[in-house]
Chains A and B, each alone.
Chain A
Amino acid sequence: MQFNLFAITSAFVGAVSFSLSLFILANSKNRLHRVWGFFNLAVSVFGLGAFLVAISTNYQSAFWSWKLAFVGIAFIASFFYHMTHEYCKLTNKKMLWFVYAHGTIFAVLTVTTDFIFHEMQYMFGEFFYYKAGLGFNILFPVWVMIVGKGFMNMYSLMMKAKGAERIQARYLFGAMLLGFSGGATTSMPSWNIPIYPAWHIFICVYATVCTYAILKHRFLNIEFVVRRAAVYAGLFVFVYGVFAIFAITGQQILRDLLGWNEWLAMMPPIILVVLVVKPLEAFLSEKTDKFLFQKKYNYRELMQLFTTEVLMIFDLEKVTQHTVEALDNIIKLESCAVILSDDEDGFKISASRGVENTNVTFAMEDPIIQHMRYSGEPLHLDVLIKRPGSSKVLIDALNKLNSRICFPITFNKEFLGILSLGAKKSGEDYTSNDIDILGSLARAEAIAVKNARSNSDLVKAKARQHLGDMADGMSHQFNNRFGTIVALLGFQEILIPEALTHVKDVSLEEQNKKLRESLELALAAIAEARDSAFRGGEIAKTLLVHTRPERIGFGVHDISKGVPLGLNLVALKHTDFKSIKVVQRIDANLPPTWSSLSIIQEILLITLDNAYDAIKTREQSQPGHEGVIEIHISHKPNERFIRMVVKDNGCGIKPADLVTVNAGVPYFTTKGSASQKSGYGAGVHTLGEYVGILGGRHRYESQYGEWTSCVIDFPVRSKPEEALAPAEQTHGQNSHR
């Protein structure tokens, strides 16, 4: 046996082609796949024969090895033509009969006669090479013509095809041309043309290009076959290999320790292997299907996901992220993305997995947006490719998203975006059942997106409303400070020159007295001005804390931390709030809960603001009444909620009004004074909305003329899905201002 470059390249050609043929034949779905598999098998037979020729050291061995190689060569043209015949969907059966007859005759004559070649010569100082016989010189030109006709078929298809199909045809045409060009050079030495027969290595390149096209461009729609087989084979070899090592080790132990002879020691491992191989195969098959290529996902699980999780999330980013992750985990997708409209940039990817270019954007005018917006129907890549006249732009858009199917996300005819799903890892197509259920999910996604956007708008609107409400107070606060400074310093500007003027005409003692008085007044004015400026700064700081954007975010918080901020805000709004005694009773070790401190702060602002008004109202009718507000936050070990009670000793709520207040009627106000701003009672409704966002519940209790309590329960939770049941209505003497 001898190794040389011809042997190595031939071994590669044989091994690569054989592997490819095995994968394709083992998992073929149609005739095209099978013919392609046989084509590769024929190439591998040629590779094997050439390898045996290259390592042969004697004439006879090389001679029969060439005959084996020629059997492969004979059928390469036949299978190649048949493959193009299937690929191009040709109907001419006569040509098929002809090419197979040619291949059969070529092979039979090669094996049974010396008509194709009958002698060899030692070439390149390495191996015996056949000399072209009469039969070869007759049949090989026909072989070349058959191959040429196959290429013509492919070229014709390539020119007619569009979109992805054209890309696939180009790959196949280019790869085949490369492979055949390389392979054909191996015939040259047979005519004494001294070209070293190593260029058939290009056949390996052909196989590599085809594999790349299969995976990247869904060549022949069998990418899952190759991938699935590769994953399965890899796992099987690994697990079985480990198992085999244990078996061999066991065999050695039996032989060495028990003294069994080699054949006897082999029996237990063989029996074990035979018993285990089928269950192991079944186990691996099930596991690879379940965890890598989940075939049948659970519709119920999907629906439950959207009704109990996605729809309950009010943060848009989390909605889309959760959607993508959940769909990917349940269906096992190559890629998944949610594309949403953006005011500034058109449509862009909000969340994705497995999408290569996450910066893809679409304008409103883009065909994919227009199509989905107006048709309201999903776009299925497989359907588009197969349908004659499909828009290449649409196919390209889907390819940009690595998408196999896209669903419109539409809410009440309002087009919000696209739900894009890539190929399933199982390789299975999307069935009509899949499309139905995923279409429903896209509609649920639209509700979730709309909810999240509305909530975001609501939070912003409420924040703006409160800021607007506070703006009056803020403006008053700032301008009072500045007004005071202007008045104090302005007056000093007048007084000091006057003092200096007057002291000229009086005695020294009188001068000292007047100057001292003047300086004392000036010092007092400066101190007032300094205090005013300082208070202005404190107001500005509190306002900044209130409006700092990061405070809007949700997270696991100790809600009692919102109390100081709420108190600061209400004190800013009402400068005489300090006249009211505030008693805080906050339990130690309150459990942290999923909430937003910003919203907690708003809730406290509303409740404290109402408490302030109630106390002030009572003060009008009862001069000298001392206002007290109690803030009590508690949690009992076995309860699922944290309770916050804000109680004031203000005017209370009439029983009839309390029913309306607890019913959460929007814009209801118990304030009768014409001097009050209209719609102030909307704060109570807003409170309900804020509490609802946090998954809590609230109610008012009151004794008219004596007190009012706002009782708010916040759920103890680490995630947003757990909300409390609505508060039970209490019947008693309740009221609200």
Chain B
Amino acid sequence: MVKILIVDDEPAFTNTYVAFLKRIKDVETFGALNSKEAYALLNAQNPEVLLLDLNLNESVKGLDILKHALARNPKLYTLVTTGNMDSKVEDECLTAGAKSVIHKPASLQDLFEKVSQAVEAVRPSTGGGGL
């Protein structure tokens, strides 16, 4: 079972993705609405995939969480979502160790495919999921 942590300050967005990404085979999804919840779930669940919003509207930024999470688990497959179109931000994330940056708003199909790829990449044995 692959654990996916979704971190986004928008509850509707987080809840929808927590429900939706469960459709990928053999995954377990968790949602965090702020850095505090994110740190707690990172410690408690030790997820293999992290879907992280870069701007959480708090003093702790998404980039801080990304660095913290990768420092704690360098194998963590991290996908960053952002509404910011600045290419510098994208570069910063990739430099920090994110595997991919997804610009909001993204279609469900795109996001599903990217998360599915992430799950396949971290899954110990081969297998897949689909809609």
- Beyond A483-B10, A484-B10, A613-B59, whether A476 also contacts B105 by CB under 8 A is no
- CA gap between A219 and B11 in the complex, in Å: 86
Whether, in the assembled complex, B60 has its beta carbon less than 8 Å from a beta carbon of chain A, the answer is: yes
Q: Is A486 an interface residue (CB 8 A)?
A: yes
Decide yes or no whether B84 CB sits under 8 A from chain A: yes
The verdict on B106 contacting chain A, using a C-beta distance below 8 Å, is yes
Report the bound CA distance from A574 to B13 in whole Å.
18
Chain A positions 469-510 with a Cβ under 8 Å from a chain B Cβ: 472-473, 475-480, 482-488, 490-491, 493-494
Determine whether the beta carbon of B105 is less than 8 Å from that of A483: yes
Q: Which of A542-576 contact B (CB under 8 A)?
A: 574-576
Q: Does B55 contact A (CB under 8 A)?
A: yes
Q: A486-B107, A487-B20, A491-B20 are in contact. Are A479 and B83 (CB under 8 A)?
A: yes
B55-81 vs A, Cβ < 8 Å mask (1 yes, 0 no): 101111101100000000000000001
User: In the complex, what distance in Å separates the CA atom of A396 from the CA atom of B12?
Assistant: 73
Contact size class for A?
Answer: 20 to 34
Contact between B57 and A482, CB atoms less than 8 A apart: no
Residues of B within 8 A of A576 (CB): 9, 57-58
Establish whether residues A487 and B84, one from each chain, have CB atoms under 8 Å apart when the complex forms: no
Neighbouring A residues of B105 by C-beta, 8 Å = 479, 482-483, 485-487
Q: Which of A653-691 contact B (CB under 8 A)?
A: 673, 675
Q: Is the CB of A480 within 8 A of B63?
A: no
Other-chain residue from B59, B106, B131 in contact with A486 (beta carbon distance below 8 A): B106
Is A616's CB within 8 Å of the partner chain B? Answer: yes
Q: In the complex, what distance in Å separates the CA atom of A491 from the CA atom of B81?
A: 18
Residues of A439-491 at the interface with B, using a CB-CB cut-off of 8 Å, are 472-473, 475-480, 482-488, 490-491
A475 to chain B: which residues have CB within 8 Å? 83-85
B contacts with A: majority SS: loop
Task: Decide yes or no whether B108 CB sits under 8 A from chain A.
Answer: yes
B19 interface residue, CB < 8 Å from A? yes
**CB atoms of A476 and B106 under 8 A apart:** no
CB pair B107 A490 closer than 8 Å: yes
B90 to chain A, nearest CB (A): 13
CB contacts (< 8 Å) of A493 on chain B: these are 108
Collect the chain B residues with CB atoms within 8 Å of residue A484's CB: 10, 12-13, 16
Question: How far does the alpha carbon of A157 sit from the alpha carbon of B13 in the complex, in Å?
Answer: 92
CB < 8 Å neighbour of B13 from A480, A613, A619: A480
Q: Are B13 and A478 in contact (CB under 8 A)?
A: no
- When chains A and B are docked, how far (Å) is the Cα of A472 from the Cα of B85? 8
* In the complex, B104 has a CB within 8 A of chain A: yes
Least Cβ distance of B39 to chain A in Å? Answer: 12
Roughly how many angstroms separate A477 CA and B84 CA in the complex, as a whole number? Answer: 10
**Residues of A561-597 contacting chain B, CB below 8 A:** 574-576
Query: Once the chains bind, are B10 and A490 in contact (CB under 8 Å)?
Result: no
In the assembled complex, A27 has its CB within 8 A of some CB on chain B: no
In the bound complex, do residue A487 and residue B13 qualify as a contact, i.e. CB atoms below 8 Å apart? yes
B30: chain A residues at CB < 8 Å are: none
A560, B83: Cα distance in complex, Å? 34
**What is the distance, in angstroms, from B129's C-beta to the closest C-beta of chain A?**
14
Other-chain residue from A491, A574, A675 in contact with B16 (beta carbon distance below 8 A): A491
Asked, given contacts A475-B83, A487-B12, whether A616 binds B59 with beta carbons under 8 Å apart, the answer is yes
The answer for the CA separation of A491 and B84 in the assembled complex, in Å, is 24
List chain B residues, Cβ under 8 A from A482. Answer: 104-105
> How many angstroms between the C-alpha atoms of A491 and B20 in the bound complex?
7
On chain B, the residues within 8 Å of A472 by CB distance are 55, 84, 86
Q: What is the bound-complex CA distance between A455 and B114, given in angstroms?
A: 49
A487–B59 contact, CB under 8 A?
A: no
Q: How far is the CA of A532 from the CA of B105 in the complex (A)?
A: 13
Check A675–B60 contact: CB distance below 8 A: yes
Inside 8 A of A486's CB, which chain B residues have their CB? 105-108
Q: Does A252 contact B (CB under 8 A)?
A: no
Contact of A733 with B by CB under 8 A: no
Docked-complex contact A575 and B57, CB < 8 angstroms: yes
Contact B86 A487 (CB under 8 A): no
- Contact assessment for B83 and A476 in the assembled complex, using a CB-CB cutoff below 8 Å: yes
Q: Is A185 an interface residue (CB 8 A)?
A: no
Contacts A486-B105, A486-B108, A487-B16 given; does A478 touch B83 at CB 8 Å: yes
Contact A575 to B131, CB < 8 A, known contacts A479-B83, A480-B83, A617-B59: no
Q: How far is the CB of A201 from chain B (nearest CB, A)?
A: 84
Chain A residues, Cβ within 8 Å of B10: 480, 483-484
Residues from chain B with a CB closer than 8 A to the CB of A528 are 12
Closest chain-B Cβ to A493's Cβ sits at a distance in Å of 8
A92 on interface, CB distance cutoff 8 Å: no
Chain B hits for A478, CB < 8 A: 83
Task: Specify which of B16, B19, B55, B60 is in contact with A476 (CB 8 Å cutoff).
Answer: B55
Residues of A within 8 A of B12 (CB): 484, 487-488, 528, 532
- Specify which chain B residues have a CB less than 8 angstroms from the CB of A485 in the assembled complex: 105
**In the complex, what residues of A have CB within 8 A of residue B13's CB?**
480, 483-484, 487
Chain B, residue nearest A613 (CB): B59
Contact indicator per residue, chain B 93-123, by CB within 8 Å of chain A (1) or not (0): 0000000000111111100000000000000
Using A477-B83, A528-B12 as known contacts, list a sample of 19 further A-B pairs with CB atoms less than 8 Å apart, ordered by residue number in A. Answer: A472-B84, A476-B57, A478-B83, A479-B104, A482-B104, A483-B106, A484-B13, A486-B108, A487-B17, A487-B108, A488-B16, A575-B57, A576-B9, A576-B57, A617-B59, A620-B59, A673-B59, A675-B59, A675-B60
- Residues on B lying within 8 angstroms of A by beta carbon are 9-10, 12-13, 16-17, 19-20, 55, 57-61, 63-64, 81-86, 103-109, 131
> Footprint of B on A, CB under 8 Å?
472-473, 475-480, 482-488, 490-491, 493-494, 525, 528, 532, 574-576, 613, 616-617, 619-620, 673, 675
> 5 A-B Cβ contacts within 8 A?
A479-B82, A479-B83, A480-B13, A484-B10, A487-B17
